[in-house]
Amino acid sequence: MLEDYELVFVFAPTSYGKTMASPYLLNLALHGAMANRLIHVVPVRALLREIYYEKFSQFSKQFKVGYQSMDRIPGGDKSPYFLSDITVTTLDSFLWNIYKIPVAEISKVLRETSMGHYYPALAAIQTSIVVFDEAHVYIGEYGEERERMAVMSVLEALHELRVPTVLSTATMSSKFVDNIIKTLGLCRDKVGVVYACENKCNENVRRLEDLKLRVEYVEGLPSIIDWNTSIDDGSKIASLVGSYCRDKVVLVIANTVDRAIELYRESKEKCERVALIHSRLVEGDKRDSYSRMRKIREEGSGLIVASPIVEVGVEVDADILITDEAPLENLIQRAGRLCRSRSGMCNAEVIILKNTAGDYPYDKSEVQKSVSKIEEIIGRGDCIEWRLFNSKKCKPAIDILDDVAEPPRINPSLLLKDYLISDARPLSLIEKSNINELFRSLSMIKVAVDISKCINNDTISLDCIERNLFATSIPTLRWLENRRKCLETSSGVEKYGVKVLILTAKWNTSKKEVFSIKEINSSTLYNAIYKSNYDTIFKRIYQDIKNVLGEDEVEVDFFVKIKPECYKSGEGAYV
């Protein structure tokens, strides 16, 4: 199908296995001389690890399989320039490379000591099939605007460069698909849709066909889930959890990390087996939580409390979902965590907690519109099919999404698109645009929790440091600092600063790599946190780091320190 189209959308339900289409696509492309490799782009690192280890590794005899993310996978084959046959990469790493700032040389480029070797990565991209997995996360109705702009500019460039491109999703409205096609200026007969259900199975696909798109149907999943959906006021959530978790797996999803921790504390005494997962856990605690989740799945009962991080990238299989109200797209993803590995009939219960969204990380009107529509459907005695795209018994959630979703404005940047398809060097991008708005990692800072135990007689354990780090955004650091003064800071006559630890490396006379940790007080980071001064923040931090490096010494990483009282083992950083 790819040889006939400039862009292909793949619509398939959660847990359908659409990720596994990538090796199949590469095989077809190699036989048809259409591409030399495939780049599989995912939104988060947790999903990358799952795909690399559990899915693509089985093809390692047929293809060279690599990965690229900002961290290291034990035993993994890193491919920073996308030169493997199949490379699974985070969106952020993909953006760095296609915007000509090689992900392996970011610090050199931002310090302006090198332009980086960006041509190998660009050549790899231009001779690949590019698959954007979970595409709704970064260009869907509820994605971040800056990310949507960066990705849409990339899609425009890939179209002009004639790179075969696939957008794979379980939750994207027909209105948004139409919006993407119009924005990219595509001919509709050059846009294909692969849809996982029988012919004209729902309103969503009928509307796609009304857009004059050619739809190819593939076999859908069998209907093995009996869905029950209800609305609750959330006033007695602990007792609600306790009534279920003794003989079923209960998944509770909160809209924020702090609320997830709060619900975990309220409910953990009610259940024998409990796991908490969110983004402000250090890597060691996160691994322990994954281990507890696996134990809960094996035993068939227990409680998992999570933030929205589980919507993509965390393998969860539960019987009952208790969730804060959220936009319908998010609710579909959350309900998709139920009955994932069952071969026979499964009873799944979705309980939506109304008026519990707290600070509303989502648009409040979108949340209310979604919940009102759900109330209307279940109020007349109908059920909702949360996973499949077709149902003789229930209303498919994908059709409800078509009813309630309003496609956002899509604003690809002419400046960015022109830069992407030109011979312009990275310095021109750095000078003409605020690159902090393009790359998620430029608003993310690694935070260290008590890494003194990782240093023994001047020997540094990198694995220990990794286990005691988590990454979070600058706005979250500001939140932690404003509420609890969690960061270690310094003050002086001339300026204030945030303490930054720099992990450095150099080769000794025995040709052995020696690591050390240096400390600086960064006024740059202080201004970013306290004054929202994001402009060229990382460029200036790398310049600060350069000033303290010794001869032949390079920085490996840097992170800020959080005070011990702001982090509780097993619960994470909290306010």
* Residue pLDDT, tens place only, 122-139: 999 999 999 999 988 887
Q: Which of 235-244, 290-299, 401-410, 532-541 has the lowest mean pLDDT?
A: 532-541
Task: Read off the pLDDT of residues 454-490 as tens digits, 9 standing for 90 and up.
Answer: 988 778 998 899 899 998 888 888 888 887 788 888 7
Task: Read off the pLDDT of residues 146-200 as tens digits, 9 standing for 90 and up.
Answer: 778 888 889 999 999 999 999 999 888 898 899 889 888 899 989 999 999 877 7
Whether 354 is in a domain gets the answer yes
- Categorize the per-residue pLDDT at 359 as very low, low, confident or very high, splitting at 50, 70 and 90: low
**Does residue 119 contact residue 102 with C-beta atoms inside 8 Å?**
no
Q: Is 210 left (phi over 0), alpha (psi -120 to 50) or beta?
A: alpha
Most confident of 145-149, 239-243, 531-535, 541-545: 239-243
pLDDT (0 to 100) of residue 493 = 44
Domain boundary (125, 144, 169) is at 169
- Categorize the per-residue pLDDT at 289 as very low, low, confident or very high, splitting at 50, 70 and 90: very high
Domain boundary (324, 357, 387) is at 387
- Which DSSP helix (H) or strand (E) runs through 42? strand 37-42
pLDDT at 140 > cutoff 70:
no
Whether 502 is in a domain gets the answer yes
Q: Mean pLDDT, to the nearest integer, of 20-45?
A: 90
Q: Which of 26-30, 84-88, 149-153, 552-556 has the lowest mean pLDDT?
A: 552-556
> Are residues 321 and 461 both part of a single domain?
no
pLDDT (0 to 100) of residue 567 = 93
> Are residues 40 and 155 both part of a single domain?
yes
CA 514/CA 458 separation, integer angstroms = 10
Q: Mean pLDDT, to the nearest integer, of 69-83?
A: 88
Whether 564 is in a domain gets the answer yes
Whether 396 is in a domain gets the answer no
Whether 255 is in a domain gets the answer yes
Strands (E), 101-148: 128-132
**Burial of 146 from C-beta contacts in 10 A (0-12 / 13-18 / 19+):** middle
Q: Higher model confidence: residue 315 or residue 398?
A: 398
Crossing angle of the two packed helices 203-210 and 174-184, in degrees rounded to 10: 30
CA 18/CA 221 separation, integer angstroms = 12
Whether 200 is in a domain gets the answer no
> Are residues 378 and 459 both part of a single domain?
no
Residue with tokens 């996973």: 387
SS3 of the chain: helix, strand, coil, percent, to 5? 40, 25, 35
> Are residues 164 and 240 both part of a single domain?
no
pLDDT at 18 > cutoff 90:
no
> Are residues 267 and 165 both part of a single domain?
no
> Are residues 234 and 162 both part of a single domain?
no
Cα 229 from chain centre: 27
**Burial of 205 from C-beta contacts in 10 A (0-12 / 13-18 / 19+):** buried
User: Within 13 Å of residue 557, how many CA atoms lie on the same side as its CB?
Assistant: 17
Question: 145: helix, coil or strand?
Answer: helix
* Count of other CB atoms within 10 angstroms of residue 379: 9
**Does residue 230 contact residue 46 with C-beta atoms inside 8 Å?**
no
Nearest to 69 by CA among 55, 83, 79: 79
pLDDT (0 to 100) of residue 430 = 65
Nearest to 251 by CA among 234, 233, 264: 264
Q: What is the DSSP letter of 393?
A: S
Mean pLDDT of the chain, nearest integer: 86
CA 424/CA 223 separation, integer angstroms = 52
pLDDT at 316 > cutoff 70:
yes
Whether 395 is in a domain gets the answer no
| Rg (the chain; Cα; Å) | 24
> Are residues 27 and 165 both part of a single domain?
yes
Q: Identify the CATH number of the domain in which residue 83 sits.
A: 3.40.50.300
pLDDT at 355 > cutoff 60:
yes
pLDDT at 535 > cutoff 60:
no
pLDDT (0 to 100) of residue 432 = 56
Task: Read off the pLDDT of residues 371-401 as tens digits, 9 standing for 90 and up.
Answer: 999 999 999 999 999 998 888 889 999 999 9
pLDDT (0 to 100) of residue 352 = 95
Q: Mean pLDDT, to the nearest integer, of 558-565?
A: 88
> Are residues 78 and 153 both part of a single domain?
yes
- The number of helix segments (H) and strand segments (E) in the chain equals 21, 26
Nearest to 280 by CA among 539, 454, 500, 479: 479
- Torsion over CA: 314, 318, 324, 325 (sign): positive
pLDDT at 540 > cutoff 90:
no
Q: Higher model confidence: residue 427 or residue 44?
A: 44
Q: What is the pTM of this model?
A: 0.89
pLDDT (0 to 100) of residue 11 = 92
Whether 194 is in a domain gets the answer no
Q: Is 360 left (phi over 0), alpha (psi -120 to 50) or beta?
A: left
Domain boundary (141, 169, 197) is at 169
pLDDT at 415 > cutoff 90:
no
Range of the domain at 379: 225-387
* End-to-end Cα separation, the chain, in angstroms: 51
Q: Higher model confidence: residue 342 or residue 276?
A: 276
Question: 89: helix, coil or strand?
Answer: strand
> Are residues 248 and 372 both part of a single domain?
yes
> Are residues 230 and 360 both part of a single domain?
yes
> Are residues 163 and 257 both part of a single domain?
no
- Which DSSP helix (H) or strand (E) runs through 474? helix 474-484
Q: Which of 27-41, 369-383, 519-533 has the lowest mean pLDDT?
A: 519-533
Task: Read off the pLDDT of residues 431-445 as tens digits, 9 standing for 90 and up.
Answer: 655 555 566 656 678
pLDDT at 111 > cutoff 80:
no
> Are residues 156 and 283 both part of a single domain?
no
Domain count, the chain: 3
pLDDT (0 to 100) of residue 370 = 93
- Which neighbouring-strand residues pair with 130? 39, 165
Listed in sequence order, the residues at least 6 apart from 217 whose beta carbon sits closer than 8 Å to its beta carbon are: 195, 196, 197, 198, 199, 201
